[in-house]
Amino acid sequence: MLSDKVVLITGGSRGLGKALAKAFAAEGARVVIAARNPETLEAARREIESSGGEVLALAADMTQPADITRVVEAAVARFGRIDVLINNGGTLGPTPRPSLLDTDPDAMLETFRVNTVGPLRVTQAVLPHMLRQGRGLVINVTSDASRGAYPEWGAYGASKAALELIGLTWAAELEGTGVHVVNVDPGDLQTDMQQAAFPGEDISDRALPESAAPAFVWLASEGRVARERRADSGARVQV
């Protein structure tokens, strides 16, 4: 059980983010979800609460400093702390997916702003609270596109590769503080983003988002076995 944990999840209103929120709430964690769409956010809140979970849902653009500050302050005011941050919010980038030759550099910059700079800003806002606690876990949701040179995935893959390196750097800088940083690749999932990447194609062969959630819960567990087997800070975990 994670009844003593407070978990903040960006992009928490649908797809993997909602699956993570439901999984952590089912384990007793108090969950904070932030997303831009108020309608999907409210639907996620109702779904979690109907199952007995405790959730704070906040409409916010978690790339904007003012919104980030508001969400973090609201989470701490409501629950007293933040133990786990999951940087899940992101964008596919320009669609339909272009080759690098045809990629608009401004569109690539926007992809980096959302997928790389956004998580950096959120982590910067949450870390002071974790450091005061002397413990915490930051999970960056990444992708195999960060490691493979896939045609037409240049903008997205590069932004996730940068996020992975930032996660590794955070881990090195935070060594000995009690705060750990891990990059997690959940694999290809049946999500709106995956469907947008393959318009008109059947993606039912991909795993459901719920299948990846247990790995995240395991990483956040404070049980003895989990402590002994937890991936080292800075590791890259592939689900």
Q: Show which residues are catalytic.
A: 156
Q: How many CA atoms lie within 13 A of 157 on its CB side?
A: 17
DSSP 64-104: SHHHHHHHHHHHHHHHS---EEEE------SSSPPPGGG--
Burial of 187 (0-12, 13-18, 19+ CB in 10 A): middle
Q: How far apart are CA 83 and CA 138, in angstroms?
A: 9
Q: What is the CA radius of gyration of the chain?
A: 17
Q: What are phi and psi of 129, to 5 degrees?
A: -70, -45
Phi, psi (deg, nearest 5) at residue 124: -60, -35
